[in-house]
Structure 1
Amino acid sequence: MTDLAGARASLPTGRKGPGCRFLFAFVLLISMAFIALPQVSEAQSYRFSSVTIEGNQRIDPSAIVNYAGIARGQTVSASELNDAYQRVLASGLFESVEMVPQGNRLVIRVEEYPTINVVSFEGNRRLKDDALTEIVESRSRRVLNPDVVERDVARIVDAYVAEGRIAARVTPRIIRRSDNRTDLIFEIFEGGVVEVQSISFVGNQEYSDNRLRRVLNTKQAGILRAFIRSDTFIEDRIEFDKQVLRDFYLSRGYVDFRVTNVTSELSRARDGYYMTLHVEEGQQFRFGKITTVSEYKGADAKEFQESLRIREGVVYRPGLVENSITRLERLATRKGFDFLRAEPRITRNDRDLTLDVEFVLVRGERIFVERIDIEGNTTTLDRVVRQQFNTVEGDPFNPREIREAAERIRALGFFQTAEVNAREGSSPDQVIIDVDLEEEPTGSLSLGGTYSTNSGFGAVVQFSERNFLGRGQQLRLSFSAAEDVTDYGIQFAEPNLLGRDLRFGLDLLYRESESSFTRFDVLSGQFRPSLNFPVGENSRLGVHYSLSLDQLVIDPPNKIGGSLIDAEDARGDIWKSEVGYRYTYDSRTTGLNPNAGYLFEFGQDFGGLGGDYTYISTTGRAVAQTKVLNEEVTLRAALEGGMLYSPNDDSRVTDRFNFFGRRMRGFEPYGIGPREVSTGQNDPLGGTYFAVARFEAEFPLGLPEEYGITGGLFYDMGSVWGLDTTSTSVVQEDFALRHVVGFSLFWNTPVGPLRFNFSKALKKERYDNEQLFNLTIQTEF
């Protein structure tokens, strides 16, 4: 410290010394010298009087010069020359590019990519060549570009991942040919399908895992994994599953439901995923107060309120609100209230878990439909699509009606995609409805097989066209043959006769029945035109005319003199001419409860209009179904009956009622009812009356849901009785209830639905033919 202080004290504090002045003068001289130097750091520039192209074989030199963008005599900098190089390289035509300035001449040397001679695929089995060709960009006679090939590899891999094959690998191979050509080969290793090993849920309280798994489109892998494709893990399918799961809960009143997370863990063997869906169910809400308020001049809120079907206390469903809006707006249309819109305003009551809904009738915007443009329908006629709209050009625009029309178009099944959108027309108060369609094949040829313990093995051949000649008509040609029954059929239907919801049908049927349960055979042919139309929101009425020919055939060795069946056979062929109707009411699709519904049918046939047989046949059926125990158990009940009245007492066994297994289980065909019994004779006669009640419960057996096996219990009771003509050898002519209990196994297999029925008659008559076991199967391939 002392030395440093002394040094500081010795420095001069006044005038500068001679050393300092010398240093200042030296720095000043150097600075002036630098200022006086000329500028020599100017960027290098080029001026070319000619451009020479070397190495090109297919590409024209002028095209390369255009890519470079350098004109003769133009002065270019080094950076501009580099930009020209990048432009030529970016054309994707050259494997290498070199630009060499040689004085006033520019030499561009290029090495062209080869052209593709052929694009082929090897190792692919699941995805065919045609499908892969549509995916890749590389094409024959195009330039081979490594960047394009790399994108093609990624596209092929993605296509296999979408099929659940995440281990798929694709290797591009290049085989050089003459004239700078090459074969491009994609070697594909498809790998195995990655299955969904298990699907589990966390947070579900009201519905079990088994019930929720039945909602999802994705299924668990089971014993039928070789046939079931829905157990393949596809990531895009998860979003769809989340949506259908939400729709399931919303339709049951759980308005706060949400899927909080979905985890998918790959197994160690990388051959399966374990999916876990984390859900929050929330509380179930019901409808509270349902009111209607009118802000539309002239619209009576009370009148509109009376048209609603929602009632307080019903489980809340968004679909019911949508249906109510549709009902209100249709009523407004009938009353001439244009542009009336029903807006639901929902008030939540957390205390009593209800939702009050107030429908407010307001005036919507004055917008009209200018026109409806339909594109993409190369086969289907425009009128088939337009028939799905309740709106025509010039009508008030109703977005709800347009959405419903779009759903009806998709429901036709004629189109792979159907997009319906509205856009502004020639003025702000006009809209144009655009319908963009992509058609799909509507014809099919199916081969099938059947089996039942009653009819044995059978074969089915069927050709069907759902959009015949593009008119929306249906045509079906069918042939089925079993051990006892052979059927031929031609069926035609026009679903929109005269442009209305009026279905016209025409059936030509022929049957040969050689029953092993009787000594007689039956041949019958029928010509049957019909009309079917709606008479209510859930009801339809069908009317028909039928002309048929029935032949009762008994081989001479089997004839028994004096029997009733032989007497009926002796009458020869019988022509029947009848008119009839059938009324149907079905609440299962539009009912208030998605888990319950009922069906009611009633019909009558009146014969004798020029035919050989006069009669009135009356039948009725009522079916109800509901799900209980958190929708795990399905309960069904059916009541069915019929009566045949013949004023001339001349009915035959082909006219009277018989049970053929489906109406009542536990008995063989022709197994119950009046019979003619004598020495060497036991003929079923059928009855002029029948009644049957069926009760059934279907429930899970605790097996994995993906096996598709459920169980059931059933209890049937019924009877067939009554004859027009009788004899002393007839037994069991009077009414007598039979009672049957049984157990069923239902198995949905890839080869068709199987049903095994094990039954036991609790009460039967002496000559009844009991059936302890019954199996049915039907499939198409």
Structure 2
Amino acid sequence: MVWTVRKTKLALALFILTLAMLGAPAGGQLLGVSTAHAQTIRSIAVEGNRRVEDDTVRSYISLQPGQAYSEAGASESIRTLFNTGLFSDVRLTMRGSTLVVNVEENPIINIVSFEGNEKFKDDVLTSEIESQPRSVLTRAKIQNDTQRVLQLYRRAGRFDATVEPKVIDLPDNRVNVVFEVQEGRKTSVSRINFIGNKAFSDSALRDVISTSEKNWLSWLKTSDIYDPERLDADQELLRTHYMKNGYADFQVVSAVAELDRERNAFFITITVDEGPLYRFGNVDVEAYVPDVDPQSLRGEILTKSGAVYNAELVDKTLEQMTLELAKSGYAFAQVRPRGDRDYSAQTISLTYVVEEGARAYVERINIRGNTRTLDRVIRREFDFAEGDAYNVVLLDRAKRRLEALRYFKTVNITREPGSAPDRIVINVEVEEQPTGELSLGGGYSTSDGFLADVSITERNLLGRGQQLRVAGAMGERTQSVDVSFTEPYFLGRRLAAGIDGFYRYREYDDNSTYESKTVGGGLRLGFQLTENLSMITRYRLYQNEITIEHPLDDGNLCYPVSTNADGTINYNAGCTLPGDQDPTRAYYNPEASIALKLAEGRRLYSVIGYDLVYSDLDSMARPTRGFYGKFSNDIAGLGGDAEWVKAEIEGRYYHPIHNQIVGMLKLRGGVIEGWGDDDVLITDTFFGTSNLVRGFGNSGWGPRDLTPGGQRDAIGGTVYAAATAEVQFPIPFVPSDLGFRGALFADAGVLTRPGFTGNPTTGLPGGAGYLLECEGINADGSGVVPAAATGCYVDDASIRASVGVSVLWDSPFGPLRADVGYAVLKEDYDDEQVFRFGAGKQF
């Protein structure tokens, strides 16, 4: 009975449901389930929009009149409308046969402002974000902008900075956006530790990488800020350092930066595996290209058997061989190094294999990202052009050249297949960086006193790769103005042509009594002869004026000679006393050296010359290994008032003695001789400066005018030679990243043969005058004047020598150096200077 009732109720329910389904109208709902998908859309109505036109909204709808409504089409339309960024809400409904699109528009940004920012100005932050006035505000845009500002602060070392966006509603669906910034403290790198290094100390490796530790100079630098990209670059710097110092198996195992939030500091740990020290074994050349003689390429080899392995020299050898082959007509020849390690002997034997490469041509060179630099400035760094043979070695060389220009923050070169199998397209992607520099300088030196200078330099003038520099300096005893322009690719070749203008003023009142003023200009042309040898030719035309302060040039030399019994004083012959002079009081009226008086006045100089420079130093700023040599030659007399020939030579050799201890030997010499009918004036000769032999004053040693009653002027010499031996070392207990080093030095030098000192026919203000070498030295230190001369000088050609200690500082103000030198070989008339300090500043 129960079963019968239940069966009857179930049948009744099924009957009612069937009737309902058959009678339900199209587009209606049954038990809450929409049947709108069965309807045909007759029209589309847009509601809620105030700024956006109806037709604009309809253009984003995939459902169109005449189509059947579908949930898939509605979902796609809603998604498309949201993706426009114009709306914060979208709803689609069917109202009869009309599709109703109800939208809620995103507000328009009225003002974007920042609060609490001091590190970055508003315009800097505004340029970083996407939200701008009169643009549409979206939640995603605000979130992205917040992260961009945070990332900017993190790149500046502010890892605890916070940014909170605030949206302030205004009438007419407008808003103001305020980013509230709490910059926090600077998060610096507190410590950089190395694990696994044995060949180089932690401090030595810290000098290699660009990231530095926090110290008391951190307010002047940004290198102590943790930057993941910089840390990646540091790993490459370490690899390069080890690879060029013999560690061919070197690798960085890990580089980890840990943030200590309590101390607001990063601790970086770099783990390395140095591997053994290798030397070059046998070095050979094999050629598999017809008519290429391997012996002809041996002169390009820079890697010598028995020397410490250096990957940098391997790369340079590849470049030089490739260029030599290309010059000989073998455009497709490729050179690759084949290394053979002998682990027991710790040597790497190298064979440079020359073989015919794939015949591939450069179809096109695409240059992108250069908004300022002209294309031709980039293209000229390539040793090949479109249509030439493709060579990967030359491509790598071009990349290094572009990076060395310092025009670009990044340089990426990629390649892709061209229109044919033997065609290659090269893509050059660059990111430009500022190339203008404003330098302000200040400092002090014991020779020039306090100094101040300013210079403006543009390395990439108008994007043409030219350099313009304007500089000025002023000090207690010196003034100067310099203007120079350089075209590095003169006539489309690698010739650096330049034009210069200059003004110089200098007071020589420490060991001589004159002033020098020089105004002129010059032309120059420089070029590379080989990888390490360069030459600079020059021509200068300038006017020099020598002025002697009155009354040092009035010809009235007076000094006491003896005292009579009544107390009156006798003076030297030729002395004219003032009319009111007390005869019992000593009167002095010194005179400048006759040799200086001969140089007084204006003279025009026309000088042509050249410099020949060789350098294989590992660093020009702070060398530790290699040789530097320079030979200079100048000839005056192609017009003008002076005729002389001057030659100078300098050589410096650096060699590491032990970990961070570097030895240096330096030799210098020079000679100047007159030609034609001209003698060399003493103002054109060399002077015994403290740069040659420390422990002496500026112009403090060498030939000197010892005429009784005179100024004891230094008169220089036409021949000099000097030598220096120095050992530089880290200062114990002083962190190396502070840039301090110590040095012990020994200097020696000789200066002899003064320039023109007059002759019996010389006419000077106050009468005739000329100098001869003194017959001796009086008890008071003056010279014994020969009977035929008006005055005398001393030139004993003796060696001066000194020893001492130095402190060097690679400071943010530029290189600073303090020397304490003691003269161990000297003459009584020399001017000693125990302490010497020099400074310069660039910031």
Q: TM-score, normalised by structure 2?
A: 0.83
**Alpha-carbon displacement from aligned partner over 1:380-435 (angstroms, at most 9, x marks no partner):** 45444343222234332212212212322332233444444444444332334444
**8 Å CA contact 1:157, 1:170 repeated in 2:** yes
**Using the alignment, how far apart are the partners of 1:122 and 1:551 within structure 2?**
60
Specify the alignment match of 1:768 in structure 2.
830
2:313 paired residue among 312, 316, 320? 320
Q: Secondary structure at the match of 2:841?
A: strand
Matches within 5 A, 1:706-725: 706-724=737-755, 725=757
- What's the CA shift for 1:340? 0.9
**8 Å CA contact 1:44, 1:78 repeated in 2:** no
1:555 paired residue among 546, 549, 554? 549
2:127 aligned with 1:137, yes or no? no
**8 Å CA contact 2:618, 2:625 repeated in 1:** no
Specify the alignment match of 1:484 in structure 2.
477
Specify the alignment match of 1:621 in structure 2.
650
The amino acid across from 1:54 in the alignment is E
Specify the alignment match of 1:254 in structure 2.
247
Specify the alignment match of 1:755 in structure 2.
817
Overall identity of the aligned pairs, in %: 34
Q: Residues 36 and 466 of structure 1: is their aligned pair in 2 closer, same or farther, counting only changes over 3 Å? A: closer
**Using the alignment, how far apart are the partners of 2:71 and 2:184 within structure 1?**
52
Gaps of 5+ in 2: 22-29, 558-590, 758-770, 775-782, 784-791
Q: Which moved more, 1:305-314 or 1:96-105?
A: 96-105
2:228 aligned with 1:200, yes or no? no
**Using the alignment, how far apart are the partners of 1:701 and 1:767 within structure 2?**
36
2:638 aligned with 1:609, yes or no? yes
- What's the CA shift for 1:207? 1.0
Q: Residues 493 and 202 of structure 1: is their aligned pair in 2 closer, same or farther, counting only changes over 3 Å? A: same
Q: Secondary structure at the match of 1:345?
A: strand
The amino acid across from 1:633 in the alignment is I
Q: Residues 246 and 419 of structure 1: is their aligned pair in 2 closer, same or farther, counting only changes over 3 Å? A: closer
- What's the CA shift for 1:182? 0.6
Q: Secondary structure at the match of 1:76?
A: coil
2:617 aligned with 1:588, yes or no? yes
2:601 aligned with 1:539, yes or no? no
1:521 paired residue among 490, 493, 515? 515
**8 Å CA contact 1:505, 1:530 repeated in 2:** yes
Q: Secondary structure at the match of 2:686?
A: coil
- What's the CA shift for 1:231? 0.9
Q: Residues 416 and 434 of structure 1: is their aligned pair in 2 closer, same or farther, counting only changes over 3 Å? A: same
**8 Å CA contact 2:746, 2:804 repeated in 1:** yes
2:664 aligned with 1:636, yes or no? yes
**Using the alignment, how far apart are the partners of 2:109 and 2:327 within structure 1?**
66
1:569 paired residue among 597, 604, 629? 597
Matches within 5 A, 1:148-297: 148-267=141-260, 269-297=262-290
Q: Residues 273 and 589 of structure 1: is their aligned pair in 2 closer, same or farther, counting only changes over 3 Å? A: closer
The amino acid across from 2:359 in the alignment is R
**Using the alignment, how far apart are the partners of 2:705 and 2:80 within structure 1?**
99
2:627 paired residue among 588, 591, 598? 598
Q: Residues 366 and 90 of structure 1: is their aligned pair in 2 closer, same or farther, counting only changes over 3 Å? A: closer
Q: Residues 450 and 100 of structure 1: is their aligned pair in 2 closer, same or farther, counting only changes over 3 Å? A: same
Q: Residues 684 and 232 of structure 1: is their aligned pair in 2 closer, same or farther, counting only changes over 3 Å? A: same
- What's the CA shift for 1:145? 1.0
Q: Secondary structure at the match of 1:59?
A: coil
**Using the alignment, how far apart are the partners of 1:609 and 1:443 within structure 2?**
38
Specify the alignment match of 1:9 in structure 2.
none
Which aligned runs of 4 or more in structure 1 are off by greater than 6 angstroms? 26-37
**Alpha-carbon displacement from aligned partner over 1:449-501 (angstroms, at most 9, x marks no partner):** 23212211122132333334544333322221111111122323333222223
- What's the CA shift for 1:109? 3.7
2:61 aligned with 1:61, yes or no? no
**8 Å CA contact 1:560, 1:566 repeated in 2:** no
- What's the CA shift for 1:118? 1.7
Specify the alignment match of 1:693 in structure 2.
723
- What's the CA shift for 1:179? 0.9
- What's the CA shift for 1:221? 0.5
- What's the CA shift for 1:627? 2.0
Q: Which moved more, 1:178-187 or 1:124-133?
A: 124-133
Q: Secondary structure at the match of 1:222?
A: coil
**Using the alignment, how far apart are the partners of 1:446 and 1:295 within structure 2?**
54
Matches within 5 A, 1:296-307: 296-305=289-298, 307=300
Q: Secondary structure at the match of 1:573?
A: strand
- What's the CA shift for 1:303? 3.3
**Using the alignment, how far apart are the partners of 1:416 and 1:261 within structure 2?**
26
**Using the alignment, how far apart are the partners of 1:320 and 1:723 within structure 2?**
47
Q: TM-score, normalised by structure 1?
A: 0.89
Q: Which moved more, 1:426-435 or 1:684-693?
A: 426-435
Query: Once superposed, what is the RMSD of the aligned Cα atoms?
Result: 3.2
**Using the alignment, how far apart are the partners of 2:619 and 2:114 within structure 1?**
51
**Alpha-carbon displacement from aligned partner over 1:85-141 (angstroms, at most 9, x marks no partner):** 555455443333444555555554433221111222222222232332232222222
Q: Residues 752 and 301 of structure 1: is their aligned pair in 2 closer, same or farther, counting only changes over 3 Å? A: closer
Q: Residues 663 and 494 of structure 1: is their aligned pair in 2 closer, same or farther, counting only changes over 3 Å? A: farther
Q: Secondary structure at the match of 2:315?
A: helix
- What's the CA shift for 1:206? 1.4
Q: Report the number of matched residues.
A: 757
1:499 paired residue among 455, 473, 492? 492
**Using the alignment, how far apart are the partners of 1:541 and 1:264 within structure 2?**
46
- What's the CA shift for 1:144? 1.5
Q: Residues 629 and 219 of structure 1: is their aligned pair in 2 closer, same or farther, counting only changes over 3 Å? A: same
Q: Residues 167 and 295 of structure 1: is their aligned pair in 2 closer, same or farther, counting only changes over 3 Å? A: same
Q: Secondary structure at the match of 1:778?
A: coil
Specify the alignment match of 1:408 in structure 2.
401
**Using the alignment, how far apart are the partners of 1:642 and 1:78 within structure 2?**
94
